Amino acid sequence: MDFWELLGVFGGLALFLHGMQMMSAGLEAAAGNQMKSVLEKLTSNRFLGILVGAVITTAVQSSSATTVMVVGFVNAGMMTLNQAVWLIMGANVGKTTTGLLIALDVGALAPPVAFIGVALMVFTKNPRLQHIGQLLAGLGILFIGMDMMSAAMEPLREVPVFVHMMATLSNPILGILFGALFTALIQSSAASVGILQTLAAAGVVEFSGAVYVLFGQNIGTCITAVLASFGTSRDAKRATCVHILFNVIGTVIFTAVVMVTPLTALIEAAVHAPMAQIAVMHVVFNLATTVLLIPFGSTLAKLASRILPDRPDTEKRGGEKGMRLVYLTPVAAGGKDGGLGVSVIVVGQLRNELHRMLEMARQNVETSFGAVLTRDVSPLERVEQRERYIDFLNREISRYISRLITIETNELGSKVVSCLFAISGNIERIGDHADNLAGYTRLLAEKDIPFSPFAQEEIRQMRDISLRAVSALLSVEAGSAQWLAQVAQLEQKIDDMTADFRREQLIRMRDGVCSDEACILYSELLTDFERIGDHVLNIAQELNKAQSAL
């Protein structure tokens, strides 16, 4: 094999991987949120879960994308570990379709499919058609890359060193290790299985040895889910563990079956094309493993829990003893692009993290208003601790989003993430105004400054409507147009109350009812009260924008 032929192999692999990435991004843009909804709703039944996992993996041609989504959903608390088991099984069944398509030699259709896809991307202005075009172009490019690799690998069967190396893979342990390491390196079982098929078609590797490499490839594909689980909750890590257990158990069973039964000979007798033989074995491996393990789905989840037992209380309590992100998965874990594996899970994770942050701000608003009324400084330490936590979450969420936006390929996804970025900043500002109220309490207590009974009643009214407004942001209806109108009414009420209370304050000042120091602090308090309402409305408007984009 000369330099140009080797270059053809790498060029074909590059086109294959880029085509798969384009398909994933196109599918995410065209139907990512609908697929997310399907995954969330249709996983309570084991057979439906397996079917949904298989269909989505078939559509996106990447089991890695599906398993990364599953890890993200479990981490975000939107899916239980038991539900994740069935989706993971389905993903393993669905990933076999790429090999079947390659074996059916649909590569002849690749150029027209790619042309139609590019035409839709270039000549249409409808975003949905453009995304469908991206999906079709990716599919065409994927098979063009496979054809390039196949043609470039033909001469390998004449290279003694390479033939000898492939012959050593007939050893089960070496074959499994090679398949696992190579797939982990390129992070795509579809690509590594496709390469194995092209090697078999070129006569470089025998089917009897290729099966062990194939089994190892099923283990190697778990690497993407392993990377996605870094920094996630314990249950999310257990979902990854289930994925590994499924493929390791299948590999152990099928290695033993191949060694003691004539399974490979039966497949060779039934199917003559080398590519098809590997595709059939791939289907048999994953389908049979799924059927065998369906009765033991709950057992797999329990085994994963025993392998990864619960940590001390700090993790279970959501980081109360140490500031940390509870729901967010590191961006880099999802892959190199903003495709299905990242974008479709990130909104739910960010919403859950922002929900935590908003609840802390609500608690601080309640506590700080109460402290002002009683001039009691004892609760202020808790307010300051929560304020530091709110600042930490805002900083970490902002850093997370700034990294995510640089890799987000979906226009709607970018819009939603930008809305959530704005929400984080507004929550942090609500926390600041609550902290200001805490500061007024210290001054009131230190200088023994009393508020008049009239001012105290107004402060109670401020507290009550502020809590109503902030609590409305935590409603399950948050984001709808009707809900936004209700929040806008609360904000207008806050503005009206601020104006009324300022007029009443001027009357009290004229009548000498309140001291100068009390008037100054009360005026500052009114400003913070009004600003809380402004930031609540800002958050509501951003939530409505995000809801409209989904």
Average pLDDT per 10 consecutive residues for the chain, totaling 550 residues? 68 76 66 57 73 79 73 70 88 84 70 89 85 83 75 65 70 90 79 82 83 92 77 80 94 94 92 89 94 92 89 45 68 43 64 91 94 90 92 89 68 77 94 93 89 90 95 87 93 94 87 81 93 95 83
Q: What's the rounded Cα separation, in Å, for the pair 442 and 444? A: 5
The token duo for 102 is 């390659």
Q: What's the rounded Cα separation, in Å, for the pair 115 and 113? A: 5
Whats the size of the chain, residue-wise?
Answer: 550
The DSSP line for 477-505 is: TTTSHHHHHHHHHHHHHHHHHHHHHHHHH
Which residue has tokens 């109360």?
Answer: 320
* Residue 335: predicted pLDDT: 43
| Domains in the chain: ranges and CATH | 3-313 (no CATH), 339-549 (1.20.58.220)
Q: Model's pTM, two decimal places? A: 0.63
With contact defined as beta carbons under 8 Å apart, do 315 and 234 qualify? yes
The token duo for 445 is 């207590």
* Residue 487: predicted pLDDT: 94
Which residue has tokens 């890359």?
Answer: 145
Q: What's the rounded Cα separation, in Å, for the pair 281 and 312? A: 44
* Residue 154: predicted pLDDT: 63
Q: What's the rounded Cα separation, in Å, for the pair 209 and 200? A: 10
Closest CA to 26 of 93, 116, 147: 116
319's torsion region: left (phi>0), alpha (psi -120 to 50) or beta?
Answer: left
Report CA dihedral (282, 286, 287, 290) to the nearest 10 degrees: 170
Q: What's the rounded Cα separation, in Å, for the pair 198 and 195? A: 5
Q: Which amino acid is located at 323 in the chain? A: M
Distance spanning both ends of the chain, measured CA to CA: 51
* Residue 337: predicted pLDDT: 43
The token duo for 339 is 């495709």
Q: What's the rounded Cα separation, in Å, for the pair 355 and 62? A: 31
Which residue has tokens 């074909």?
Answer: 12
Q: What's the rounded Cα separation, in Å, for the pair 323 and 353? A: 12
* Residue 321: predicted pLDDT: 47
